[in-house]
Structure formats: C-alpha cells, structure tokens
Amino acid sequence: MPIANTWTEELIAEWLHLDGFLVEIGLPAAGSGRGGRREADVVGGRVNSGKLQVCHCEAAEWLIDRSATEVATQYQNKFSKDVTDSVGRYLCTIFGTKEIGSYQKLVVTKYFAKEFPKELSQVIPDAEAILLDDLIKNRIMPSIKNWKLHHETAKGNPPQLPRALWLLKMIEFCMEWGLNFKS
C-alpha cells in the first residue's frame, strides 16, 4: 500500500480500515486526457449485505484560495464518471462482485468557505464536504468507541487500538484524557 501524501489522508485511511474497509491510498484512476492520470486520494471498499460499499475521500488542506464555485468545479474531475467507474471496477475485481451498492464521495479539509458545501452539492449532488474536526468528532471518535465495544482483551483490560493505527491512537489518547476537538 502506498504511503499517504498527507497526515489527513493517513487519518482517513486508518479510520476506514478501523471500520472494516479494505483501503487504498493514491489509487490510480482514469487518465486525465493530457497524458497523465488521475488518482483517488483514499478509497475504501467493503461488502455489506452482499453489496459493495465504496467510500472515496479526497483530502485537502485549505479550500479558500479560490471562489467556492471554482473549487467545487475542480472536484468534478476528482469524482468524474471516469474516475468513479475506474475505482468501482477495481474494487469489484478485488471483491469478486459485479454490483456497487453505494458509492460515498467525501471532500475532507481543514477549512472551506461557508458557501462551498452548497456549491459542491450543486456540481456533484451526491458528494459531501466535511471539515476535518467534524470528521474526527462525528465519525472517527464514534468509530473508535464502537470498535472498543466489540473487542475484548484476554485479560479483561480495556481494549486498545492496533499500534499501526498511530493517528487513531492519538485521538484515542485525547478521548481517554477528555481532550476535545473544536466545535
């Protein structure tokens, strides 16, 4: 598995892995038409109730250097039909299935202009923009709690996340010490 380009990509990959997804980072996707290729930042796939569930995340640091409309339009390429079809075909091959049950598209960033989620939904109706701190509070932390509820230790000690999930372990530490993420 390739190494994540940013710690945000790594965090997303660890979260999806904890939630039972097979995760790929920097998955080559459709060609760009200019001799290069596109790649999906983080993609997770799992089979749920016999259907393939895909979570495709694009990570960014800051989305404020251009208008919300320009930034939203940029994501049309990242989630184009060519890219999503390429990702879907790859995961269908891996899982030996022919049907995709759901394909979730997330744009995760530290900050975006307040108009960006609306602009993104106009350009890509099934995509969701989410701030990194909201992802941590509303998705990652509940995933950690859920994982710990379903994993017992042989000696009855509180379960700890696997060592390889080092960013999630940092969040676990913050949770145990009552440290909060901004609202």
Cβ–Cβ under 8 Å, residues 53 and 3: no
pLDDT at res. 53: 97
Task: Quote the pLDDT of residue 135.
Answer: 96
Tens-place pLDDT, residues 7-48? 999 999 999 999 999 999 999 987 666 656 789 999 999 998
- pLDDT at site 95: 96
All residue ranges of the chain with pLDDT < 70 are 1-2, 31-36, 181-183
Helix (H, G, I), strand (E, B) or coil at 114: coil
* Cα–Cα separations (whole angstroms), residue 13 to 22, 29, 55, 119, 167: 9, 17, 10, 26, 10
Residues 97-106: tens digit of each pLDDT: 988 999 999 9
Three-state DSSP at 23 gives strand
pLDDT of residue 170: 93
Specify the pLDDT at position 36: 66
Chain centroid to CA 60: how far? 11
- 8 A C-beta contact, residue 41 and residue 60: no
User: Which one of 3.20.20.100, 3.40.470.10, 3.10.150.10, 3.40.1350.10 gives the CATH number of domain 7-135?
Assistant: 3.40.1350.10
| CA dihedral (109, 113, 117, 122) positive or negative | negative
C-beta separation of 28 from 39 below 8 A: yes
pLDDT score for 63: 74
